[in-house]
Structure 1
Amino acid sequence: MADTAQSIDVEVPDPWSLPLEGFDVSKAEIFQQNKQGEYFRRLRQEAPVHYCPDSAVGAYWSVTKYNDIIAVDSNHKVFSSVPSIVIGDPSDDFQPPMFIAMDPPIHDIQRKAAQPAVAPSQLSELEDLIRQRVCNILDGLPVGQEFNWVDRVSIELTTQMLATLFDYPFEDRHKLPFWSDVATTSDAVGVAGADMEWRMKHLNECLASFTELWHQRAAEPRKFDFISLLAHDPQTKDMVNNPIELLGNLMLLIVGGNDTTRNSISGGVYFLNKFPDQYAKLKADPSLIPNMVSEIIRYQTPLAHMRRVATEDTELGGQKIRKGDKVVMWYVSGNRDEEAIERPDEFLIDRQNARRHVSFGFGIHRCMGNRVAEMQLRILWEEIMNRFEHVEVVGEPERVLSNFVLGYTHLPVVLHAKAN
C-alpha cells in the first residue's frame, strides 16, 4: 500500500458541535475513522447544498441528497468534470488529462474506444476465467487461522482481473494495485504532504511499462484488452505520442478497475459480520447473492465523491452557485439519504430496488465497468458459500486515509469450513 495506509491520530470532532458556516467534510481522517455518517446526516438535515468557504482543498459546495446528486451528475453541460473529478485541484505541474475528467466530444471518443473491454458481450467470456481464479484463490486460503482478507482475497482477485482487462504480464500483476495506490495518494484527496517526487518516479515507471506494451499491441491484431483497443482505434491510436494523456487514462482505468471491486469485497465480509441476521438470511437463501452485491456496493460506496465545476451561474436546492464554483457530489451521503432510500443505515441483502444507489454515478460518466464489478462480487460470494460455513471477522478493519477512496488496508478474518 502507498501512503494511503498511514495511520493518523487526529481527533475527529462531533459534527453536531461545529458551526455550520465552516463545516468541512473534506478531511480525510473523517473517512479513515469511519465517522462520516453523522457529518453527512447533519448536512442532509440542515444544509443539503452547503458551501464551505475555506478548506485545505479550497472553497467548495457539498451536494448530499440523492436527487440533487442525480441532477448534478446528469447535467454535464452545467456541471463540468474538467479539470478533475476529485475534490482537490491538480498541481500546476502535474495535470494528467483523463477521459472521466473531460467533457464531450473528447470524453465520448476516448470512452467509446475503451468500452468494448467491459461490454456485456465480453462478460460471458470473462465469467469462466473469473470463476476459475476465484476458486484458486479461495482454495489456497488457510482454514481456522487468522489472515488479512484484504491482501489474500480482495487485492489478489482484483489484481488478477486488472491484469486480464489490460492483458498485462500476469507475473508482474502486483504492480497494478501498487500504481493504483500511488495514483490515489495525493493532497487532492486529503493526504497532506504526499511525496510528489516519489509519486512521479512510480507513475513514470507505470507509463514506461504501458508505453512498451502499447507499441507491442499496435503491431499485433486488435484484441479486447484496454491497451489494444486504444492502440487500434483511429481516434485514440496517437495517444501514445502524448505521454501525459496516456498516463492520465492509465491511472483512470487502473483505479477504476481496482477500487470499486477491491473495497466492496472487503466491505461485504465486514457488513455480514456486523449484521449477523443478514448472514443467516444469506446462508438460508444463497439466491439472494446478486441482490446482495448491489446492497454491498451501496453500503460501501467505494468512491466517496465526484467533483464538478459550474460552467455558468445556476441554482441548486435553493442555493445560488456561481460560474467556476467547485461542486462536490457526495455519493457516500446520497446512498444514506433517508428520503430516497428506506432504512438506509441498515444493510439489507434482500432490499427492494437494491440497484437504486448512486455508487456508479449517472449520466455520461456512469461507471463503465459496473457490470464487471458486480459479476466479480457475485462469483466470489457463490464460491464462498460453496466452501465455507462462515467467514468470521475477528477484529476491526483498518481503513485508507482518503476523502475519495473508501477502502480497507487490513481486515482480520478466520475461515470456518463447511461440515461434510
Structure 2
Amino acid sequence: MSDGAVHLDEAREKAWSMPLDQINPADPYLFRDNTMWPYFERLRKENPVHLQTEHQFGPYWSVTKYNDIMAVDTNHEAFSSQPSITIADPKDDFRLPMFIAMDPPKHDVQRKTVSPIVAPFNLQAMEPVIRERAGAILDNLPIGEEFDWVDKVSVELTTMTLATLFDFPWEERRKLTRWSDVATANPESGLVESEEARRAELLECAEYFMGLWNQRVNEPPRNDLISMLAHGESTRNMDRMEYLGNLILLIVGGNDTTRNTITGSILALNENRDQYDKLKADHGLIPSMVSETIRWQTPLAHMRRNATRDIALGDKLIRKGDKVVMWYVSGNRDEEVIDRPNDYWIERPRVRQHLSFGFGIHRCVGNRLAELQLKIIWEEILARFPEIQVTGAPRRVLSSFVKGYESLPTVIPKRL
C-alpha cells in the first residue's frame, strides 16, 4: 500500500469519527496531503450545509452538494461576491477590488470590457500560436531523463499564453508566474517570508503594469488586456489598487487554473492506465478527456459568497452577512448528481456537467481558452510520445483555494 493510500485511510477514519462541528474543510493541509475527500463525503451525507464556527477568518458555512452550490452560485441577489471570493476578508489597508468580487452593475461592465479577448474569433486566431508554442515546448523536453512537468510544460505554456493576452514583454513573462503564485500564497507555504513581503511583490506588479498602462493609454486601442482596461469606459479611471486587483484576477484566472489542470491530466491518466490506453487508441476522446480532467481536478476548490439577507438553504437558515463557501471540489464528487463521481472516466456521459467553471454571472470568462489549451497540448503530446510516465508523488500546493501542484516528476521514455 502506498503512503498516499495510508494517509487517506487515516484521514477517512478521522473524518468519520470526529464530531461534525469540528470538521474544517478549509484546512489547507488537507489539500496539500490530498486527504480532504472523506471530510467532504461525510458532510455531503450528514450535513451538506455545514457551519464551522471556529476558524481563523471567522465562522463560515460550507455548501458541499452540487444542487445547493448551484442554488447559491446562480442567485447573486441573495449571495453577494463582495467583498471577497475567498474565506479571508480583505485587510482595510490592502484592499484589492476586482470584478469577480463585485456585484452588478459594476461587475457587468468591467467584465464586458475584457471578455472580447476570449471571444470565439480571438480564440480562433490564437489557436495556431498556442499550437506552435506547445509543439516547441514538447520538442525541447529531454527523452529518458526525469524532469518537472509543472515547470517545463504546464507553467511554460500557460505563461506564454498569458503574456500574449497582456502583450507583456516576452523575456520577462515568468514575472507573471511569480505574481500569480504570490497572490494566492498561503502565509505558511514559505513562498514569501511575510505578509509584508507579499504585499511588496504585489505592489511591484502594480508598478510594472502601470508602465504598460501609461504606454497603452497613449496609443490607439489594441486587442490586449491592458489596452482594453486602459481604454474601457468602466475601467480607465480605476485607481492603482483596483487596477492591481483586476490584474491579479486576470493573471491567476488566465494561468494558474489551466496550468494545474494540465498537470492534473498527466497525473490522472497515469493513475488510470486503462483511460490512458483508451485515449492513445482514440484521439477523438481528447475533448471529453479535457472536460473530465477539469471536473476531476477542480483547479479552484471553492468560491465564497456573503448572504445579503436571511435565507434558507437546505434545512439551515443562513443569516444576513454570513459567509457562504461553495465547495466546487465537493460538488464535483456528488454521488446524487454525478455517476461514479470518484472515477476518472474520459468517456463519461454528460462530461461537461461539472462545477469547475462556476455558474451564473461569475462563470469563468476564460473557460473556452482553458479548454483550448488543454486540447492542443494533448493533441501535440499524442502526436509525439507513446506515453508520459509519472515517476514520483506530486507536490501539491498548500491551499484550500488553489487546488494545484508545485511539481510533478515525469519521464518520457521515447518519441514516436
Q: Same fold (TM over 0.5)?
A: yes
Shift of 1:224: 1.6
Distance 1:28 1:257 in 2: 23
Q: Bigger shift: 189-198 or 126-135?
A: 189-198
Distance 1:53 1:202 in 2: 33
What RMSD in Å do the two structures reach over aligned CA positions? 1.6
Distance 1:45 1:128 in 2: 46
Superimposed CA distance per residue, residues 211-238 of structure 1 (whole angstroms, 9 cap, x where no aligned partner): 1101111111211211111111122111
| Paired position in structure 2 for 1:205 | 204
- Counterpart contact for 1:185–1:194, Cα < 8 Å: no
| Paired position in structure 1 for 2:287 | 290
Secondary structure at the counterpart of residue 24 of structure 2: coil
Superimposed CA distance per residue, residues 31-67 of structure 1 (whole angstroms, 9 cap, x where no aligned partner): 0000111110000000011111111221000000001
- Counterpart contact for 2:143–2:415, Cα < 8 Å: no
| Paired position in structure 2 for 1:148 | 148
Letter in 2 for 1:143: I
| Paired position in structure 1 for 2:310 | 313
Superimposed CA distance per residue, residues 315-371 of structure 1 (whole angstroms, 9 cap, x where no aligned partner): 001100000000000000000000110000000111111111000000000000000
Secondary structure at the counterpart of residue 43 of structure 1: helix
Shift of 1:186: 4.1
Q: Is 2:125 the counterpart of 1:125?
A: yes
Letter in 2 for 1:344: P
Count residues with an aligned counterpart. 406
| Paired position in structure 2 for 1:178 | 178
Distance 1:256 1:157 in 2: 14
Letter in 2 for 1:398: R
Question: What aligned pairs does 1:106-125 form with structure 2 within 5 A after superposition?
Answer: 106-125=106-125
Secondary structure at the counterpart of residue 358 of structure 1: coil
| Paired position in structure 2 for 1:331 | 328
| Paired position in structure 1 for 2:31 | 31
Distance 2:78 2:268 in 1: 37
Letter in 1 for 2:250: L
Secondary structure at the counterpart of residue 390 of structure 1: coil
Distance 2:73 2:134 in 1: 34
Distance 1:14 1:127 in 2: 47
- Counterpart contact for 1:190–1:403, Cα < 8 Å: no
Q: Is 2:40 the counterpart of 1:40?
A: yes
Q: CA 1:192/1:226 → structure 2, altered by over 3 Å: closer, same or farther?
A: closer
Question: Which of 260, 272, 284 is residue 257 of structure 2 equivalent to?
Answer: 260
Distance 2:22 2:43 in 1: 12
Question: What aligned pairs does 1:207-226 form with structure 2 within 5 A after superposition?
Answer: 207-226=206-225
- Counterpart contact for 1:191–1:401, Cα < 8 Å: no
- Counterpart contact for 2:158–2:258, Cα < 8 Å: yes
Q: Bigger shift: 329-338 or 84-93?
A: 84-93
Q: CA 1:126/1:219 → structure 2, altered by over 3 Å: closer, same or farther?
A: same
Q: Is 2:71 the counterpart of 1:71?
A: yes
Secondary structure at the counterpart of residue 221 of structure 2: coil
Superimposed CA distance per residue, residues 225-281 of structure 1 (whole angstroms, 9 cap, x where no aligned partner): 111111111221112xx1111010011000001121100010000000000000000
Distance 1:137 1:192 in 2: 26
Structure 1 length as normaliser, TM-score?
A: 0.94
Distance 1:190 1:354 in 2: 34
Superimposed CA distance per residue, residues 283-324 of structure 1 (whole angstroms, 9 cap, x where no aligned partner): 110110011100000000000000000000000011000000
- Counterpart contact for 2:31–2:400, Cα < 8 Å: yes
| Paired position in structure 2 for 1:245 | 242
Secondary structure at the counterpart of residue 389 of structure 2: strand
- Counterpart contact for 2:182–2:191, Cα < 8 Å: no
Distance 1:291 1:192 in 2: 35
| Paired position in structure 2 for 1:375 | 372
Q: Bigger shift: 82-91 or 311-320?
A: 82-91
Distance 1:235 1:341 in 2: 40
* Identity percentage of aligned residues: 58
Question: What aligned pairs does 1:375-414 form with structure 2 within 5 A after superposition?
Answer: 375-414=372-411
Secondary structure at the counterpart of residue 417 of structure 1: coil
Distance 2:92 2:236 in 1: 27
Q: CA 1:186/1:393 → structure 2, altered by over 3 Å: closer, same or farther?
A: closer
Distance 2:93 2:191 in 1: 17
Question: Which of 340, 344, 347 is residue 343 of structure 1 equivalent to?
Answer: 340
Distance 2:191 2:147 in 1: 31
Distance 1:200 1:321 in 2: 34
| Paired position in structure 1 for 2:5 | none
Structure 2 length as normaliser, TM-score?
A: 0.95
Letter in 1 for 2:101: A
Letter in 2 for 1:232: H
Q: CA 1:63/1:203 → structure 2, altered by over 3 Å: closer, same or farther?
A: same
Distance 2:28 2:270 in 1: 25
- Counterpart contact for 1:335–1:357, Cα < 8 Å: yes
Q: CA 1:186/1:414 → structure 2, altered by over 3 Å: closer, same or farther?
A: closer
Question: Which of 347, 357, 361 is residue 364 of structure 1 equivalent to?
Answer: 361
Shift of 1:194: 6.7
Q: Which runs of 5+ in 1 are unaligned?
A: 1-10
Secondary structure at the counterpart of residue 34 of structure 1: coil
Secondary structure at the counterpart of residue 382 of structure 2: helix
| Paired position in structure 1 for 2:62 | 62
Distance 1:220 1:314 in 2: 49
- Counterpart contact for 2:182–2:192, Cα < 8 Å: no
Distance 2:22 2:77 in 1: 29
Distance 1:232 1:32 in 2: 41
Q: Which runs of 5+ in 2 are unaligned?
A: 1-9
- Counterpart contact for 2:192–2:198, Cα < 8 Å: no
